[in-house]
């Protein structure tokens, strides 16, 4: 086994050095590994807190043990560590894979001593990390632009790196690293996520699976017409995550409808229940004021004039979903020159309450 003495360079001294106290009973408490345990491959920093040390010549001995019985199996890692130090860098690269409890003993030159075992073990493992499994978006928690992720804890991982691929294009961005098997991302738009386990600077081989917030993207172009349209031409649309349904004003299950703004003006887009013609579902509308990948949180209205190339967001108030419309044109009806239409493509965010879409417009 390889024993490594405590090294306290300038960069580490602040983290590993404390001040001695005086008076009261001498004491020491092992704080790392914690009660929940820890995992290590090459090295691990053992930490402790000492109390009421009365002599500058006091010292600490550190041991590893496969149980918490000091009479059997106790192995000395380092002795005579200064009592002002609060940590020891254990080189466990040559140790067999096992669970090791840490025992610290502090000796005072006033013939006093105290000891403590760690509440949890250091699990030494030299097996390569596997891939993280069970990654999912928590749809009940995610809303607005906050995406809640969780995954199965990975044995042997000390932390996790979370990656984001905007629009699912294959361009991965590292979001951050966490010791928890959960992560919250305030996202700039829709995309997919991947997670890698981390230990000793090494990571999982790859993504076992990804999870995402990508909306349903319908590249079909739909057209609805204003109230001058002849019978049989659709004037309203209902959105779903598998395709739009066009209908007339007489239906009661549409989300957005169209009507003329004036004798020769462009058509208006209106909420499904907006008077005087609306008999559908309430779907308030808002123009994009910034990125096309994020629906606004406020300033929705029952009626707005579209223009070719603009992005319109819809808030489906009854169902709690958001949609995105990209206006592709404002056609004139082929047989009724006074009738105008609105042509569009759309995206449907399938996670209730989430306002995230692709960056396309």
Domains annotated for the chain, with CATH where assigned, are 10-124 (2.60.40.10), 136-212 (2.60.40.10), 216-348 (no CATH)
Q: How many CB atoms lie within 10 A of CB 171?
A: 10
Contact 1, 17 (CB under 8 A): no
Query: Percentage of the chain surpassing pLDDT 90?
Result: 78
The string of pLDDT tens digits covering residues 43-58 is: 899 999 999 988 888 9
- What's the pLDDT at 263? 65
The confidence band for 85, taking pLDDT boundaries of 50, 70 and 90, is: very high
Cβ distance 197 to 130 under 8 Å? Answer: yes
Calpha distance 283→258 (Å, rounded): 13
Which residues, other chains included, contact 2 with Cβ-Cβ below 8 Å and sequence gap of 6+?
Answer: 91, 93, 94, 95
- Of 6-20, 287-301, 326-340, the least confident: 6-20
pLDDT attached to residue 1:
43
What percent of the chain has pLDDT above 70?
93
Residue 194 tokens read as 């991947």
Q: Given a cut of 70, is residue 3 above it in pLDDT?
A: no
Q: Tokens in use for 356?
A: 């995230």
At 260, the pLDDT band (50, 70, 90 cuts) reads confident
**Among 11-15, 174-178, 259-263, 322-326, which is the least confidently predicted range?**
11-15
As separate numbers, helices (DSSP H) first and strands (DSSP E) second, the chain gives: 1, 27
Classify the phi-psi angles of 353: left when phi > 0, otherwise alpha if psi is within -120 to 50, otherwise beta.
Answer: left
Residue in the block written with tokens 């209908």: 247
pTM of the model: 0.77
Q: What is the mean pLDDT of the chain?
A: 90
For residue 2, pLDDT over 50 is answered with no
Write the pLDDT tens digit of every residue in 161-175. Answer: 999 999 999 999 999
């Amino acid at each position: 086994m390889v024993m490594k003495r405590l090294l306290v360079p300038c960069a580490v001294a602040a983290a590993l050095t404390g001040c001695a106290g005086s008076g009261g009973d001498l004491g020491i408490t092992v704080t790392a590994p914690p009660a929940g345990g820890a995992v290590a491959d090459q090295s691990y920093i053992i930490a402790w807190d000492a109390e009421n040390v009365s002599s500058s010549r006091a010292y600490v001995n550190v041991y590893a043990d496969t149980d918490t019985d000091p009479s059997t199996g106790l192995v000395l890692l380092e002795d005579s560590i200064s009592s002002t130090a609060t940590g020891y860098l254990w080189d466990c690269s040559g140790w067999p894979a096992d669970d090791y409890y840490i025992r610290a003993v502090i000796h005072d030159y006033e013939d006093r001593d105290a000891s403590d075992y760690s509440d949890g073990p250091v699990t030494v493992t030299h097996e390569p990390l596997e891939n993280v499994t069970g990654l999912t978006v928590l749809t009940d928690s995610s809303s607005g632009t906050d995406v809640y992720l969780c995954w199965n804890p990975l044995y042997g991982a000390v932390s996790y790196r979370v990656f984001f691929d905007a629009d699912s294009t294959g361009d991965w961005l590292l979001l951050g690293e966490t010791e928890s098997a959960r992560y919250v991302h305030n996202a700039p738009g829709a995309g997919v996520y991947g997670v890698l386990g981390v230990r000793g600077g090494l990571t999982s081989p790859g993504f076992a699976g990804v999870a995402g917030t990508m909306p349903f993207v319908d590249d079909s172009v739909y057209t609805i017409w204003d109230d001058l349209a002849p019978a049989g031409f659709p004037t309203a649309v209902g959105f779903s995550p598998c395709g739009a349904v066009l209908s007339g004003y007489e239906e009661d299950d549409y989300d957005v409808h169209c009507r003329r703004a004036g004798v020769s003006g462009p058509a208006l887009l209106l909420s499904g229940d907006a008077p005087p013609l609306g008999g559908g579902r309430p779907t308030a509308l808002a123009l994009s004021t910034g990125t096309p990948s994020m629906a606004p949180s406020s300033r929705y209205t029952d009626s707005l004039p579209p223009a070719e190339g603009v992005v319109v967001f819809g808030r489906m108030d009854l169902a709690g979903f958001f949609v995105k419309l990209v206006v592709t044109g404002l056609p004139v009806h082929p047989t009724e020159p006074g009738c105008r239409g609105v042509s569009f493509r759309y995206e449907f965010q399938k996670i209730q309450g989430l306002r995230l879409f692709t960056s396309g417009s």
